[in-house]
């Protein structure tokens, strides 16, 4: 999904809704179909530990290993993983996302994995946040940026992720020279 498109908020909302349902409360939806689970397992945020000598990637991959181990013994899990493998190189990161999605899907685990990687190879159902509106006719600031994003989910079979990081940076007033160098680097890669 795109930067600032609500991926993390969506995952936290799904977890909260699952807990609300399981504890007998209404969920924040006009209509919902919720399967009860034994556990909700998440990997959201940076859990690096300088005290344990773990980098952000090491802490994350250990958490993913723990989730996979749990999935092998309990199929009634809800797994929510935010931007899996974001702290490693794109080649291995994409492979880790593909492997994790395919393994959990193959075990029949319900879950959501968000990513910025294009070309993830999986048979899982793919959705993306629609993203920025096409035309913006007013000044964008940090305070109103989110009002220009369409947070609705749409099916996406392309496997490509939106390329909006530089647009967001530009809208936020990031230095033009820096953005120009970034655009040049992208042009050279393509």
Residue 160, pLDDT > 70, answer no
Indicate if the pLDDT at residue 123 is higher than 70: yes
Are residues 63 and 136 in contact, defined by beta-carbon separation less than 8 angstroms? no
Q: How confident is the model at residue 159 (pLDDT cuts 50, 70, 90)?
A: low
Decide: 145 and 4 in contact? Cβ < 8 Å. yes
pLDDT tens for 51-108 read 777 788 888 899 999 999 999 999 999 999 999 988 888 888 889 999 999 999 999 9
State the Cα torsion 127-87-89-109 to the nearest 10°: -40
Q: What is the phi/psi pair of residue 39, to 5°?
A: -150, 150
Average pLDDT over every residue of 16-42: 94
What percentage of residues in the chain have a pLDDT greater than 90? 39
Q: What is the pTM of this model?
A: 0.78
From the CB of residue 184, how many other CB atoms can be counted at a distance below 10 Å?
Answer: 10
């Amino acid at each position: 999904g795109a930067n600032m498109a609500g991926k993390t908020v969506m995952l936290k909302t799904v977890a909260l809704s699952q807990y609300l349902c399981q504890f007998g409360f209404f969920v924040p939806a006009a209509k919902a179909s919720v399967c009860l689970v034994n556990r909700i397992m998440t990997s959201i945020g940076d859990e690096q530990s300088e005290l344990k000598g773990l980098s952000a990637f090491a802490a994350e991959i250990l958490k993913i290993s723990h989730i996979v181990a749990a999935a092998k013994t309990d199929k009634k899990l809800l797994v929510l993983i935010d931007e899996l493998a974001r702290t490693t190189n794109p080649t291995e990161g994409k492979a880790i996302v593909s492997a994790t999605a395919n393994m959990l899907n193959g075990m029949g685990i319900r879950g959501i994995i968000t990513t910025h990687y294009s070309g993830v190879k999986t048979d899982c159902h793919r959705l993306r946040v629609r993203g920025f509106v096409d035309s913006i006719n007013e000044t964008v600031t940090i305070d109103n940026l989110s009002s220009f994003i369409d947070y609705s989910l749409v099916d996406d079979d392309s496997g490509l992720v939106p390329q909006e990081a530089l647009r967001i940076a530009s809208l936020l007033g990031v230095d033009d020279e820096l953005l120009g160098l970034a655009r040049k680097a992208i042009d050279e890669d393509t």
